[in-house]
């Protein structure tokens, strides 16, 4: 009989890891959570919270030379902002590689809580259309689960996390368990009314967000105070983070051991019993390696890191991972296609007297409208995209100098509505993450090598979004409508998914319908790496729902002595 | 009036939400009092005394003292020295420093005095020429560069945030149809 240090080990403490720890602890399991980053305690370690711009290093922007040296990738996630630099991984110390001319952006956090402290907080459900997409158009491996199966788990995590949103009755964006939505501003209401009248079927709604509009006193959390300092950490606990939500719940059980500064290098595996037998971690302070043992393991290190750990968990005498009997581990790497923008201004006049008081934590959303009822006849692409944005008024541009300029800077420019496209990315077998044959990082782990590109379908989606986006803004009566695109680099949307995809067929997927590894029934992979497609909506709620569901299943299996 | 409301709101919030919120709210509340220092240290002195006087005069000409304090009171000259010394890439720094020399030289040739010693009308005349890219030898980017740095330094300063603008560290609510006429100012965060 094997002896274990813990009932379960959770690798990673972000959105998925936090939920895994909470659920497993609450079901009575003794849990060890390993996090590669440093410790950040709720409230006390939010060191820049409440500081004015004059109190931030360099008034808020890191010197360009330092950004290029240490945060050349993390800058795409906001690391150049000195209010939040400390929440990002140093890219110089944590390198990876990419194939030739195919750049990749991997924006990594560096603390307990992972990206849950710095995420965009957009909280959307996937729909029936999304879960059926692979089977319908033949890309990637078919999802083995349906929306109806996952819906109760969405409800479960939404209720606890606290999601603000409006019920809309849209099949492509299912309603959930919502607190009241954050309000639209006067310009967004103006545009909504005109757009929805001019183009039936198009909707402009308050973005569903994990910033609460009602208190949760039972969790010690207070509704959003409209500071818009979320990425510094929120002592009100107003938005979902590991620190504010799942970690306190896990700790309250007295079943949790949390170790920060632990880089997991690989999993140990026994081919005879087909079980993961240990988790090897290096303490980043002492550089000592240690193997921790548990009955089950939840791998929630983030999409790319989880795939890297799995790839580095090799069968004895082989370069092949134990988890790769399907030959699909590290394949179908995806991210939302990103960086196409659309904008337009409200004509001068009736809305000029109004400005915004306070800083709302969310914006507005135009849900997917393409290829909803089968293939649109005029679409030369499959699947769809959503537009995320907000209306705001910039401070007036400076004119001249002196007293008149200073006076002018007390006023505002026009209300302008700006959108960013998030387009679905198809699963391509040859979009891959592999391990470098020779280069290793400071922990001895072979560097990840990304060979990931967006293809024709993603480019067509983005182009269509620019055309349709402008059409909608003009139809709504906005003026000075325009659109632009920047380089589309995978990883940039920080919605990485895939690499250990879910499927029924063990020869074509890495995990089964319960996020359980086909090759090791005591291993559950519940972060973005299990995703077999990307939908066009933000993925975090789905990671939460699938993680809670997998934890429920895993504990039942343990209790039944099945694993 | 808004200022005292804000302070009440923060104090009320701290009482309502318990002592665990004290640290961040105390930081915001402290910030709501006037008179804390500039919030940065400069790693080295970059300017000569003459350059320091010139940058002070330029910044005050761009954002003068009106019904609210101007650039000098807000510490903008020190901010610019810090940014040039510690933030700027050498190429941009050298271009800006060269521009300072051209402006100072122009003042001395045209008016026989350093820029800082000129009356406001003469200073404005030189700045207008710089803006119109009409000073021989001066980088066409100098005026915009200088103005941007002054604007950034002023509106990110404590005076800029709290006296020129209306500082709202904890708004507590969002109103997307707030009448501008109530404030005729910009909110800062």
DSSP A518-552: TTEEEEEE-SGGG-S---SS--HHHHHHHHHHHHH
- What is the chain A residue with the closest CA to B85? A63
- What is the chain B residue with the closest CA to A189? B176
What are the helix (H) ranges across A179-267? Answer: 186-198, 247-252
A 208-267 near B (Cβ less than 8 A):
220, 222, 225-229, 235-236
Question: Element (H or E) spanning B27, and its range?
Answer: helix B22-32
Q: Is the dihedral of CA A439, A445, A451, A452 positive or negative?
A: negative
Question: Element (H or E) spanning B98, and its range?
Answer: helix B90-111
pLDDT of amino acid A2: 67
Pull the structure tokens for residue A248.
């306190």
CA-based max dimension of chain A? 82
Rounded CA gap, A286 and B83, in Å? 37
Rounded CA gap, A31 and A26, in Å? 10
- What is the chain B residue with the closest CA to A351? B177
Phi-psi region of A70 (alpha: psi -120 to 50; beta: other; left: phi over 0): alpha
Rounded CA gap, A40 and A112, in Å? 6
Beta strands A294-299 and A6-11, pairing class: parallel
In degrees and rounded to multiples of 5, residue B123 shows phi and psi of -60, -45
Residues of chain A with pLDDT under 70: 1-2
Among all chains, which residue has been given the structure tokens 């020399």? B101
Q: Is the dihedral of CA B64, B68, B73, B75 positive or negative?
A: negative
Beta strands A262-270 and A97-98, pairing class: unpaired
A 112-171 near B (Cβ less than 8 A):
none
Rounded CA gap, B73 and B94, in Å? 26
Rounded CA gap, A290 and A259, in Å? 12
Pull the structure tokens for residue B34.
């006037």
Among all chains, which residue has been given the structure tokens 């909506």? A537
Contact between A498 and A429 (Cβ < 8 Å) = no
Among all chains, which residue has been given the structure tokens 């590991």? A242
Rounded CA gap, A152 and A176, in Å? 10
Of A226, A352, A401, nearest to B62 by CB-CB distance is: A401
Of B63, B66, B173, nearest to A358 by CB-CB distance is: B173
pLDDT of amino acid B41: 83
> CB of B22 within 8 Å of any CB in chain A?
no
Contact between A435 and A312 (Cβ < 8 Å) = yes
Phi-psi region of A162 (alpha: psi -120 to 50; beta: other; left: phi over 0): left
pLDDT of amino acid B17: 44
pTM greater than the 0.90 cutoff:
yes
Contact between A501 and A460 (Cβ < 8 Å) = no
Pull the structure tokens for residue B38.
């500039």
Nearest CA among B147, B158, B164, B183 for reference residue B69: B164
Of A56, A63, A226, nearest to B171 by CB-CB distance is: A226
Q: How far is A495 from chain B (nearest CA, A)?
A: 28
Of A50, A189, A228, nearest to B24 by CB-CB distance is: A50
Digitized pLDDT (tens) for each residue of chain B, 189 residues in all: 333 343 344 444 444 444 444 454 454 444 444 444 466 888 889 999 999 999 999 999 999 999 999 999 999 999 999 999 999 999 999 999 999 999 999 999 999 999 999 999 999 999 999 999 999 999 999 999 999 999 999 999 999 999 999 999 999 999 999 999 999 999 998
pLDDT of amino acid B42: 86
> Within 10 Å of residue B66's Cβ, how many Cβ atoms?
12
Q: Using CA atoms in the order A325, A326, A330, A336, what is the torsion angle rounded to 10 degrees?
A: -150
Distances from the Cα of A563 to the Cα of A26, A277, A292, A520, A558, angstroms: 19, 12, 18, 9, 5
Helix axes A128-137, A147-161, angle to 10 degrees: 140
Q: Interface pTM (ipTM) of the complex?
A: 0.94
3-state secondary structure of B152: helix
Question: Element (H or E) spanning A506, and its range?
Answer: none
Pull the structure tokens for residue A470.
């402008």
**First vs last C-alpha separation in chain A:** 13
Rounded CA gap, B3 and A236, in Å? 22
CA-based max dimension of chain B? 65
- What is the chain B residue with the closest CA to A44? B23
Instruction: Give the distance, in angstroms, between the CA of residue A374 and the centroid of all CA atoms in the same chain.
Output: 28
Q: How far is B102 from chain A (nearest CA, A)?
A: 19
pLDDT of amino acid A86: 97
> Which residues in chain B have Cβ-Cβ distances shorter than 8 Å to A398?
147, 151
> Which residues in chain A have Cβ-Cβ distances shorter than 8 Å to B171?
225-227, 357-359
Distances from the Cα of A384 to the Cα of A200, A422, A458, A465, A556, angstroms: 18, 9, 9, 9, 37
3-state secondary structure of A372: coil
Q: Do A50 and B169 touch (CB under 8 A)?
A: yes
Pull the structure tokens for residue A387.
């537009």
Q: Do A54 and B39 touch (CB under 8 A)?
A: yes
Nearest CA among A434, A429, A427, A428 for reference residue A307: A434
Question: Element (H or E) spanning A132, and its range?
Answer: helix A128-137
pLDDT of amino acid B2: 38
Apex CA A110: angle with CA A240 and CA A42, to 5°? 40
pLDDT of amino acid B38: 62
In degrees and rounded to multiples of 5, residue A191 shows phi and psi of -70, -40
């Amino acid at each position: 009989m094997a002896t274990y240090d813990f009932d379960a080990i959770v690798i990673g403490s972000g959105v998925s890891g936090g939920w895994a720890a909470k659920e497993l602890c609450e079901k009575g399991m003794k849990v060890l959570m390993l996090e590669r980053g440093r410790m950040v305690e709720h409230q006390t370690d939010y060191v820049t919270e409440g500081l004015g711009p004059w109190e931030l290093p360099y008034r808020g922007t890191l010197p360009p030379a330092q950004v290029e040296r240490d945060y050349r990738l993390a800058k795409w996630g906001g690391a150049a902002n000195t209010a939040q630099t400390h929440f990002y991984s140093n890219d110089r110390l944590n390198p990876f590689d990419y194939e030739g001319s195919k750049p990749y952006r991997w924006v990594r956090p560096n603390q307990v809580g992972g990206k849950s402290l710095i995420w965009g907080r957009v909280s959307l459900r996937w729909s029936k259309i999304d879960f059926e997409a692979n089977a319908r158009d033949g890309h990637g491996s078919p999802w083995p689960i349906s929306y109806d199966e996952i819906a109760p788990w969405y409800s479960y995590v939404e209720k606890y996390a606290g999601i603000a949103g409006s019920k809309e009755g849209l099949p492509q964006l299912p309603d959930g368990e919502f607190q009241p939505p954050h309000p639209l501003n006067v310009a967004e209401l103006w545009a909504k009314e005109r757009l929805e009248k001019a183009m039936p079927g198009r909707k402009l709604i308050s973005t569903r967000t994990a910033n609460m509009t009602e208190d949760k006193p039972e969790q010690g959390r207070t509704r959003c105070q409209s500071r818009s300092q979320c990425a510094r950490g929120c002592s009100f606990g107003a938005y979902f983070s590991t620190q504010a939500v799942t970690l306190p719940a896990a700790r309250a059980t007295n079943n949790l051991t949390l170790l920060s500064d632990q880089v997991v290098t690989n999993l140990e595996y026994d081919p005879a019993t087909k079980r993961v037998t240990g988790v090897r971690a290096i303490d980043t302070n002492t550089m000592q390696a240690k193997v921790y043992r548990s009955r089950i393991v939840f791998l929630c290190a983030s999409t790319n890191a989880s795939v890297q750990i799995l790839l580095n968990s090799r069968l004895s005498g082989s370069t092949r991972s134990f988890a790769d009997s399907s030959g699909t581990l590290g394949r179908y790497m995806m991210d939302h296609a990103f960086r196409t923008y659309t904008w337009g201004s409200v004509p001068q006049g009736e809305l000029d007297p109004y400005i915004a008081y306070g800083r709302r934590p969310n914006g507005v959303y135009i849900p997917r409208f393409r290829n909803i009822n089968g293939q649109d006849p005029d679409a030369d692409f499959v699947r769809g995209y959503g537009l995320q944005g907000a209306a705001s008024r910039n401070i007036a541009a400076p004119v001249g100098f002196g007293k008149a300029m200073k006076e002018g800077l007390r006023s505002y420019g026009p209300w302008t509505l700006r959108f960013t496209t998030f387009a679905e990315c198809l699963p391509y077998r040859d979009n891959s993450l592999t391990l470098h044959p020779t280069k290793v990082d400071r922990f001895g782990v072979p560097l990840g090598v990304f060979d990931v590109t967006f293809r024709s379908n993603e480019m067509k989606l983005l182009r269509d979004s620019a055309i349709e986006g402008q059409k909608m803004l003009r139809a709504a009566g906005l003026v000075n409508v325009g659109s632009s695109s920047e380089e589309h680099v995978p990883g940039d949307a920080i919605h990485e998914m895939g690499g250990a995809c879910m499927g029924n067929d063990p020869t074509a997927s890495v995990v089964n319908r319960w996020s359980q590894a086909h090759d090791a029934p005591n291993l559950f992979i519940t972060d973005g790496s299990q995703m077999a497609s990307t939908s066009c909506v933000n993925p975090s709620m789905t990671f939460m729902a699938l993680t809670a569901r997998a934890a429920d299943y895993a504990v039942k299996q343990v209790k039944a002595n099945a694993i | 009036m808004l200022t005292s409301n804000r302070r009440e709101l923060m104090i009320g919030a701290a009482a309502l939400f318990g002592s665990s919120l004290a640290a961040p709210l105390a930081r915001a509340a402290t910030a709501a009092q006037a008179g804390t220092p500039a919030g940065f240290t400069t790693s080295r002195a970059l300017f000569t005394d003459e350059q320091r006087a010139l940058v002070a005069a330029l910044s005050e000409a761009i954002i003068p003292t009106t019904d609210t304090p101007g650039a000098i009171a807000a510490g903008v000259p020190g901010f610019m020295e810090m940014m040039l010394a510690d933030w700027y890439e050498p190429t941009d720094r050298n271009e800006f420093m060269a521009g300072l020399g051209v402006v100072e030289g122009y003042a001395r040739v045209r008016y026989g005095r350093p820029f800082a010693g000129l009356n406001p009308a003469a200073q404005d005349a030189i700045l207008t020429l710089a803006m119109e890219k009409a000073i021989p030898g001066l980088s066409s980017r100098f005026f915009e560069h200088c103005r941007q740095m002054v604007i950034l330094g002023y509106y990110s300063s404590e005076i800029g945030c709290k006296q020129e603008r209306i500082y709202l560290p904890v708004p507590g609510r969002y109103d997307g149809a707030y009448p501008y006429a109530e404030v005729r100012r910009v909110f800062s965060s």
